[in-house]
Chains A and B, each alone.
Chain A
Amino acid sequence: DGGITQSPKYLFRKEGQNVTLSCEQNLNHDAMYWYRQDPGQGLRLIYYSQIVNDFQKGDIAEGYSVSREKKESFPLTVTSAQKNPTAFYLCASSTMIRGKLFFGSGTQLSVL
């Protein structure tokens, strides 16, 4: 079945630690996105990528980094510079920028 797979489902970060969230899609979509959701709020865009080896900052990119070495994969690293990382992280993809958006099941990141 085609879809977007995010792992892990739950992740805990210690002080000063970098952690990486995985996102893989087999929909053959060109565009991929990372969103952050805080309790009771909407989604905010962290980074997006339209093609391999290219990505752009979203509205809240500080403290995060991404890579797009393969079309299918768009991992997000939450660095130690992100002082308030506790949130629900959602990966999404679309056939192209401005296309219909499809989401993975999310990763809940918490700080120990």
Chain B
Amino acid sequence: GIQVEQSPPDLILQEGANSTLRCNFSDSVNNLQWFHQNPWGQLINLFYIPSGTKQNGRLSATTVATERYSLLYISSSQTTDSGVYFCAAEETSGSRLTFGEGTQLTVNP
């Protein structure tokens, strides 16, 4: 099955800083999604982005399917951005999403 690797595993920022999270996947995909899990366990879908670029406020994501990676950009980080960010991908021939192990982000005031 597809392998999904996220980096870095941990990231600590000061409020106001920018950051880039990376997701590499081992096969061609037709489904790629980014999620944020808050400290209480709730998972929120940030982007559905099998290819191209999308923006939502301070967050944006880019997936380069031909090179098998996706990037999540967080600008002007806030303490409420803290939590774990997951990337999940589904290979073209597959039938389910495979999650990476996540990036733990801590934003300090």
- Interface positions, chain A 27-44, Cβ under 8 Å from B, are 35, 40-44
CB contact under 8 A between A100 and B33, given known A41-B101, A42-B101, A45-B96: yes
Instruction: Digitize A42-62: 1 where CB-to-B-CB distance is under 8 Å, 0 elsewhere.
Output: 111100100000001011000
Name which of B38-46, B60-68, B73-81 contacts chain A.
Answer: B38-46
Determine whether the beta carbon of A100 is less than 8 Å from that of B96. no
B11: interface (CB < 8 Å): no
Q: Which chain B residues border A97 with CB–CB below 8 Å? A: 95
Q: Which chain A residues border B100 with CB–CB below 8 Å? A: 42
Determine whether the beta carbon of B43 is less than 8 Å from that of A103. yes
Contact count A vs B, C-beta below 8 Å? 48
A73: interface (CB < 8 Å): no
Determine whether the beta carbon of A88 is less than 8 Å from that of B41. yes
Q: Whole-angstrom distance between the alpha carbons of A45 and B33 in the complex? A: 15
Q: Which residues of A contact B (CB under 8 A)?
A: 35, 40-45, 48, 56, 58-59, 88, 90, 92, 97-103, 105-106, 108
Some 19 contacts from A to B, beta carbons below 8 A apart, are A35-B99, A40-B101, A42-B86, A42-B102, A43-B86, A43-B99, A44-B99, A45-B97, A59-B96, A92-B43, A98-B31, A99-B48, A100-B45, A101-B35, A101-B88, A103-B45, A105-B41, A106-B41, A106-B42
